[in-house]
Structure 1
Amino acid sequence: MKANLEDIAKAAGVSKMTVSRVLRGGTGFSDDTRDRVVKVAERLGYVPNKLAAAFGSYQASTLVGMCVPRLTSGLFAHVLDGVDRALSRLGYQLMIGANNHSTAEEEAWVRQIASWRPAGLILSGRNHSTATVDLLRQVAVPVVEIWDLTTSPIDMSVGFSHYDCGVEMGQFLLRRGRRRAGYVGALARADVMGQARLEGFQAVLAQAGAPLVDREVLLDMPGFYAGYYGLETLLARTPDLDVVYFHNDDMAVGGLAYAQAKGIRVPEDLGIAGWGGMEAASILPKRLTTTVVPTTAIGKAAAEALVARLKGEAGQEVTVVPTRLVPGETG
C-alpha cells in the first residue's frame, strides 16, 4: 500500500494539514517539523497524488489552463516552454488547448476547462466573445492575456503591440528607400493579430505617401509553401514591387525560396521582410529582415504574474515585453 498524508501525519506526530503544507513548500511550521515530515515521507515512500492536488481534495488546485491559437505554431512552442518551466518550478501543472484563431472555440475551451477548477488561466490575444468574458468573471480565477498587449485587460496582460510591429517595419523599409510595397499573409479572416501588423504597416506607408501597392492574403495556414506560392501569385499580378512584407518568418523564407528559384535578386530586385524571429532566419545565407519576439520571456512573465496573483502578491496589470527589429540583409 502506498503511504498517504494521514500515514505521514501519524508517523511524524503532526496534523495532516501540516504535512500538506510541508510537502507543498508552505510556511507556518518550524525547521524541525519540516525535516521530520520530509524524512518520514521519504522513509514511507510517499508519492504525491497530483490528481488530488489538482482537484482540491487536500489543497487548492494546481492546474493552470492555457489556450493558444495553434499547437503547431513554432513561436507558441517557445511561449509554452517558458510558461511550463516557470509553472513547474513554482509547483503548478499546465493544461494546454488551442482555439484555432476562433473566439467560439476559445469559449468552448474555457467552459470545459472551468469544470476542472483551474487555479488560473492564460489566454492568447485580447479578443474574446462576450460569453467568454462573462464566464471568466464567474469563475473568478486569475487570468493573463498574452501575446497581443491590451491596456485594459480582463485581469492581467503580458505582451506587445502587433500594430506597432507593423508600423516599425514600415518605417524601417521606407528608410531603406522602398516605395512600392506588397504584403503576403495567411489565415484570412481568422488571425486578428496578423491583421493588426498589416494595418500598422499600411498606416505608416500611407502617411509617407507610399501606400501599400498590393497584397495577397491566403486562407491557408502560414508556412514555407504558403509563402512560396503567395509571393508567386502576388508578383504575377504586380511584378514591379520593390519589397514584400510577410505574415511571419516561415512565409518569408518560402518567399526567399521562390525568389531564388526565379532568379530574383534579394534585396537588389526585391526586398523581403518577415516577422517572429524564427531561429533559422539568423543562419540563412543572407540574414532575414524581421522582428524578433521574446517568446520564452513572455511565457515566463505570464506564469510568474499569475502565480504572484495566486499568492496574493501585488503586481502590475500590464507587462510590456518589447520586440526587436533585426535589419538583416534581405530588406
Structure 2
Amino acid sequence: MTVSRVLRGGSGYSDGTRDRVMQVASRLGYVPNRLAAALGSDASTLVGICVPRLTSGLFGHVLDGVDRALRRLGYQVMIGCNNHAAEEEEAWLRQVISWRPAGVILSGRNHTPGTVDLLRNAGMPVVELWDLNTSPIDISVGFSHFDCGVEMGQFLIRRGRRRAGFVGALSRSDVMGQARLEGFAAALSRAGHPLADREVLHDSPGFYAGFYGLEVLLARSPHLDVVYFHNDEMAIGGLAYCTARGVNVPGDLGIVGWGGMEAASVLPRRLTTTVVPTTAIGKAAAEALVARLKGEPGADVIAVPTRLVPGETG
C-alpha cells in the first residue's frame, strides 16, 4: 500500500521512503497508467485545450500560460488544433472526451451545435478563451475583438488619418478577426470617414500575405493614408513591402497591426499595434478551470484588458 500511495502521489510516508520507491521504479522502467487511475478514481489530471493554429506565435504564448499554470496545480495538457474550423473543433472534442479529461479550454465562442451539446452534457468545467463571451457555456476569459477594432479606428482618426484600408486573411470561421474588422469599420464610419478599401486573402495570415496583400490593395487604391492589418505578422510583411517599394512610413502611409508579437517592438520603427496579454490569458483560463474543479467561487466572465501601443508607424 505504501508503494501504491507513493506512485499515486499520495501522502503519509517519509521522504526517504519516497526516494527508495522512486529509485526502484526508475530501475524497473515503471510508468504509472494515469488513464487507469483516472477511471478508477473518477478524477482525471488531463485538461484538453484546442487553439486555431499551432504556428501562431500568440497562441504559443497562450499555451505556455495554460501549461505553466496547470503543471503547477498538478494537471497535464492535451493540445489540439482546429484551423479556425468549428467542425474540426467538434471532431477533436469527441476524441478528447473519450479520455475523460478534467476539463477543456477552447478558443473563441464559435462552436457547432454538436460541440455545445457535448460540453453541456459532459459534466466538466469548460473555459472559452480569447474572445470574451458574456453568456459563456461555463467560463469565458478574454477580451472583445470588436472593441479592439473600434479603439484602433478611433486612434487613427485622432491621428488625422482619413483614408483607411484593411488587409487580412480571414476564413469563414475566423469570427474574431472579422469582429476586429467590423469594429474598425464602425469607428471610421461614425467619424464620417468610412473604410476606403479592403483586401481579404484566402491564405494564412503571415508575413508574405501581408506583403502581397498590401501590394494588391495599393495597386487598386493608391490614395490610402493608413492600412490596418489582420495581425502583426501581416503588418510586418506590409512594412517590408513599403521598404522594398520606397514607400515612406508613416509619412506616405501608416501601417498598424494587432496582437503585440515580440518582433514588432524591435523594428527600426516600433509598430503601432494592440498588445494582447497572451500568457496572462492562458494563466487566468487555467486557474479558473481548476478553481471550478475544486468548487471554489469565481466569476463566469473574466475580462483581460488589451493595450494600444501608439508606436511609430501609424
Q: Same fold (TM over 0.5)?
A: yes
Deviation at 1:60, TM superposition (A): 0.8
* Residue correspondence of structure 1 range 235-250 to structure 2 within 5 A: 235-250=218-233
SS of equivalent residue, structure 1 residue 97:
strand
- Residue in 1 that maps onto 2:75: 92
Rounded Cα–Cα distance in structure 2 between residues aligned with 1:277 and 1:323: 10
Partner of 2:49, secondary structure, is strand
Q: Aligned letter for 1:8?
A: V
Q: Size of the alignment, in residue pairs?
A: 308
TM-score when normalising by structure 1: 0.89
SS at match of 2:79: strand
Map 1:99-248 → 2, pairs under 5 A? 99-248=82-231
- State how far apart, in whole Å, the 1-side matches of 2:133 and 2:209 are: 30
1:79-117, CA deviations, whole angstroms, 9 ceiling, x for partnerless residues? 000000000011000000011111111111111100000
Contact 2:228–2:255 (8 Å) recurs in 1: yes
- Matches of 2:32 and 2:305 in 1, distance apart? 40
Instruction: Give CA deviations for 1:115-149 in whole Å, capped at 9, x if unaligned.
Output: 00000000000111111100111111000000000
Distance in 2, matches of 1:210 and 1:77, equals 36
Alpha-carbon offset, residue 49 of structure 1? 1.6
In 2: Cα distance, 1:199 partner to 1:296 partner: 26
Alignment partner of 1:43 out of 10, 13, 20: 20
1:252 maps to: 235
Deviation at 1:238, TM superposition (A): 0.5
Q: In the superposition, relative to structure 1, how do residues 130 and 262 fare at CA in structure 2: closer, same or farther (>3 Å)?
A: same
Provide the rounded CA distance (Å) in 2 between the counterparts of 1:109 and 1:158.
21
The answer to whether the 8 A contact 2:86-2:173 is kept is no
Question: RMSD between aligned alpha carbons?
Answer: 1.6
CA spacing shift, 1:194–1:277, aligned 2, 3 Å: same
Output the CA distance in 1 between the equivalents of 2:140 and 2:239: 35
Looking at structure 2, the residues matched to 245 and 164 of structure 1 have their Cα atoms a distance apart, in angstroms, of 14
Q: What is the identity, as a one-letter code, of the residue corresponding to 1:129? A: T
Distance 1:92 1:153 in 2: 23
The answer (yes or no) to whether the contact 1:144–1:156 under 8 Å persists in 2 is yes
Aligned position for 1:8: 3
Give, as a single letter, the amino acid of the residue that structure 2 aligns with 1:292: V
1:49 counterpart letter in structure 2: P
Structure 1 pair 50–297 and aligned structure 2 pair: CA distance change class (3 A) = farther
Aligned in 2, Cα 1:54/1:147: closer, same or farther, shift over 3 Å?
farther
Runs of at least 5 residues in structure 2 that lack an aligned partner in the other structure: none
Amino acid of the residue matched to residue 111 of structure 2?
Answer: H
Identity of aligned residues (%): 72
| 2:279 equivalent in structure 1 | 296
Aligned to 1:312: 295
Post-superposition CA distance 1:217-247 (Å, at most 9, x none): 0000001110000000000000000000000
Q: For residue 109 of structure 1, give the secondary structure of its aligned residue in structure 2.
A: helix
How far apart are residue 327 of structure 1 and its match?
0.1
Say whether the 8 Å CA contact 2:35–2:99 is kept in structure 1.
no
| Distance across 2 between alignment mates of 1:68 and 1:60 | 25
Contact 1:55 1:116 in 2 (8 A): no
The structural deviation recorded for 1:56 is 3.1
Shift of 1:58: 4.4
Letter in 1 for 2:119: L
* Shift of residue 69, structure 1, vs aligned partner: 0.4
**What is the Cα deviation at residue 54 of structure 1?**
6.3
1:67/1:99 contact within 8 Å kept = yes
